[in-house]
Amino acid sequence: MSFLISTASSLGNYGLSCLLPASLRALEHLAAGARTTRSISTAQRASTGLAFSSCSAPAAAAAHRAWRRLPPFTRGFSASVCSSVAADASLSDVIAQVQSCVATSNKETGVLSQLADCAMNRAGELSPDQIRNLTVSFAQLGYFNTQFKSIMADAIIEKLEQFDPAVLADTAWAFGEAQYYDYDLMSTLLPYLKSNIQKFDASGMAKMLWTFARFGYQDETLMDMMHDIALKLQANCNSKSLAEVVYAMAQLGWADSRLHSLVAEYAMDNIQDFDSQGLAKLAFGLAAVGYDDTALYTAITQAATAQLEGMSPADVSMILWACGEQGHLCDKFMSAVADQYMPANMEYFSPQQLQIAVKAWNKLGFSSPAVAAAAVRLSEVLPHLAPDFPDGIAAAAAMQP
């Protein structure tokens, strides 16, 4: 079967017309046995250029467009799998089953694949809310199917004007969370965002920016929106949205004095409203674009010290990195991390997170027995770091899931 698919892919549409009867007979044979087939194997996706994580944007886009010339075959293939779930299941039933998997943390690949196949075969019938519910649920489950994402991207583009801004922001977030880069979708979302930015609240705008940042999508149009973004945040600001926007802009490499002033003013007055992840993203974002405010960093680290017991190693390592980059010793926070947090949680630090922490302490000249122990532990896990593991801002960005 894999030979037929590979051969058909190489021959193009004419090859498909020739091999389709044989392919269907092979599928009938497979369906009679154990149901172990998937829509397209991982190996074949890679061979057709669908492994976007390892492709450049132009290459990924080209491969993506080439793959889209094969919808009748791939969607017909998934239909045979869908029939084993429930041939007469409504789209509402399929979505309810997916959401039930989220509620019960059911990540069984076979079940999720069948549900995704059912949704793909009826993608044209999906409403914007249903597209959002499906993509967000699958992203929450960690189920990433490139064919599903591609078909959903087509559906989003086709129905873009029907999307409520909040629903579109959630859907874009799902693509970013899945790290599925779709050039056509990103190119369509950007002008839509520019034309409709006043319709997005701060939270929705933060999700849209985060999605572009997740893919490293750079465009002058995004920069042109900076003034509108600052005004939107000023009129409708909250701790979570502010932290997300600052974090996204840092990943995009943006620096804007209006945003910095807004951040400093709001954060200083409302630092108690930031949770641990918000504090980490705020500190990281400001440091990444070179914004230095001693009073603000003091406030951030004081708030982080109060929340330290419940913080994740990722959040702690990001704040340490930010302090190291800006040269802020913040002694109480450093001592609390080294003497209290690290001894109890060092085993939960990934090699990358541990490297960031040790480098930050070294930059600041901070030493203690716990720091020495962390350095010893780092020397033990260094072989587990990839030779090309990024340093600096890229390393800190890699800490956020």
Give 166-191 pLDDT, tens digit per residue: 999 999 999 988 888 888 998 899 88
Tokens of 269: 């007055």
Contact call for residues 206 and 241 (beta carbons, < 8 A) = yes
Tokens of 118: 């059912």
Cα–Cα distance for residue pair 21/4, rounded to 1 Å: 11
Cα–Cα distance for residue pair 108/238, rounded to 1 Å: 37
Cα–Cα distance for residue pair 9/13, rounded to 1 Å: 8
Cα–Cα distance for residue pair 166/355, rounded to 1 Å: 38
CA atoms within 13 A on the CB side of 311: 33
- In the three-class reduction of DSSP (H, G, I as helix; E, B as strand; rest coil), residue 17 is classed as helix
Give the pLDDT of residue 226.
Answer: 67
Contacts of 157 (CB under 8 A, 6+ apart): 184, 185, 188
Give the pLDDT of residue 88.
Answer: 65
Give the 3-state secondary structure percentages of the chain, helix then strand then coil, rounded to 5: 80, 0, 20
- Burial (CB count within 10 angstroms: exposed 0-12, middle 13-18, buried 19+), residue 161: exposed
Tokens of 340: 């209290």
pLDDT means per 10 residues, the chain with 401 residues, are: 42 41 42 37 32 36 39 35 56 92 93 93 94 94 90 95 94 88 89 86 82 77 69 71 78 69 81 92 86 89 95 94 91 92 92 90 91 88 57 48 44
Nearest to 150 by CA among 114, 177, 173, 183: 183
Cα–Cα distance for residue pair 379/239, rounded to 1 Å: 38
Cα–Cα distance for residue pair 135/172, rounded to 1 Å: 9
Give the pLDDT of residue 310.
Answer: 92
Tell me the chain's radius of gyration from C-alpha atoms: 24
Give the pLDDT of residue 385.
Answer: 56
